[in-house]
């Protein structure tokens, strides 16, 4: 893919390198969000500090991925170990940026999905650390998705603002509703809370951006992804709380990148086509 930006044909290798660099810098900011949001701290001020000695991190030590390796994974001042997760999130965000732009191109859709992917990365790691999903992202994101769908209906492939609003609302309803009903069933069957409110709000948020089909498939495939660590815990007899957010995020990404193929193999695409045909003839 050689996109044309501002009338210039950009060679593939060049934009991939640039997208990775840009993504890893964003990843550095996502690290700040992951650390500070669940602690109710501002993500803007103060600038990045060492969690150990609170000394500001020098700009050249803060270079994504490479900075951590240059320091040998330790703070320059207090020599406290810095988690490998910092460069990992930076590299992951860099790769996710390249992947999203490769799949959707330098289009408005591609940029919206990019922001959504960034939100999913933040949510996943906060959920792993604290078993919570911040409302700022899930509820705030749902509001943003709804607003965006009204001002820009083509996000859902429709033309009027009413249709855009309908698609986003339906997405919120199917995303949140499917997990809410599952949670109610789980509470009834297992007599304990089985589905967190954060998960419900997260899938509702995704529905606002991606519509009801994508969140419905995500609802169906995420438990299958969660089955892998679930079975491993049973085999190795480990007791851990497994947050569900990262599996929803993984399910969303798989569905977003492979929706046509998934619609075909799950038969959902065919079902939707038959309903449309039925409505046309009756």
Strands (E), the chain: 4-5, 8-9
Q: Give me the residue label for tokens 């732009």.
A: 101
Binding of Zn ion at residue 50 (CB under 5 A)? yes
If the CB atoms of residues 77 and 109 are measured against Zn ion, the closer one turns out to be 77
Interface segment toward Zn ion; rule CB under 5 A; list 38-46, 71-79, 215-223, 263-271: 71-79
Among 49, 74, 77, 85, the residue binding Zn ion under the rule CB under 5 A is: 77
In whole angstroms, what separates CA 46 from the centre of its chain? Answer: 26
- Of the candidates 133, 116, 128, 18, which has an alpha carbon nearest to the alpha carbon of residue 83? 128
Q: According to the binding rule CB under 5 A, does residue 57 interact with Zn ion?
A: no
Query: Taking CB under 5 A as the rule, does residue 32 contact Zn ion?
Result: no
Residue 58 lies near Zn ion (rule: CB under 5 A): no
Preceding peptide of 46 cis, ω within 30°: yes
Can you read off the two tokens belonging to residue 69?
Answer: 């390796």
Q: Considering the rule CB under 5 A, would residue 53 count as an interface residue with Zn ion?
A: yes
Determine the longest span between alpha carbons in the chain, in angstroms.
74
Buried b (16+ CB within 10 A) or exposed e, 141-157: bbebbbebbbeebebbe
Does position 49 bind Zn ion by CB under 5 A? no
Q: Which residues pair with 56 in a beta bridge?
A: 49
**Does 103 contact Zn ion by CB under 5 A?**
no
Number of residues that bind Zn ion (CB under 5 A): 6
Least distance from Zn ion to the Cβ atom of residue 55, Å: 6
78 contacts Zn ion (rule: CB under 5 A): yes
| Residue nearer to Zn ion on the CB measure, 78 or 232 | 78
Provide the minimum distance between the beta carbon of 85 and Zn ion in the complex, in angstroms, as a whole number.
16
For Zn ion, the binding residues (CB under 5 A) are 50, 52-53, 75, 77-78
């Amino acid at each position: 893919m050689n996109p044309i930006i501002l009338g210039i044909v950009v060679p593939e290798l060049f934009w991939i390198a640039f997208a990775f660099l840009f993504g890893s810098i964003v990843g550095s900011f996502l690290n700040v969000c992951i650390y500070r949001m669940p602690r109710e701290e501002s993500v803007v001020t103060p600038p990045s500090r060492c969690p150990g000695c609170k000394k500001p991190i020098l700009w050249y030590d803060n270079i994504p991925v490479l900075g951590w390796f240059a320091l040998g994974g330790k703070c320059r001042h207090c020599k406290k170990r810095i988690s490998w997760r910092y460069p990992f999130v930076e590299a992951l965000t860099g790769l996710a940026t390249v992947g999203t732009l490769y799949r959707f191109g330098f289009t408005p859709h591609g940029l919206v999905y990019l922001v959504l992917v960034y939100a999913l990365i933040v949510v996943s790691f906060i959920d792993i650390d604290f078993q919570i999903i911040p409302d700022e992202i899930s509820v705030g994101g749902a509001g943003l998705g709804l607003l965006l769908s009204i001002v820009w209906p083509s996000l859902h492939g429709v033309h009027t603002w009413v249709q855009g609003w309908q698609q986003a609302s339906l997405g919120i309803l199917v995303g949140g509703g499917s997990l809410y009903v599952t949670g109610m069933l789980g509470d009834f069957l297992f007599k304990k809370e089985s589905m967190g409110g954060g998960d419900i709000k997260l899938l509702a948020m995704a529905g606002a951006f991606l519509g009801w089909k994508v969140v419905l498939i995500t609802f169906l495939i995420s438990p299958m992804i969660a089955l892998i660590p679930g079975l491993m815990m049973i085999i190795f007899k480990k007791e851990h709380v497994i947050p569900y957010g990262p599996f929803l995020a993984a399910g969303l990404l798989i569905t977003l990148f492979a929706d046509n193929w998934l619609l075909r193999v799950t038969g959902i695409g065919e079902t939707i086509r038959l309903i449309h045909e039925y409505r046309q003839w009756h």
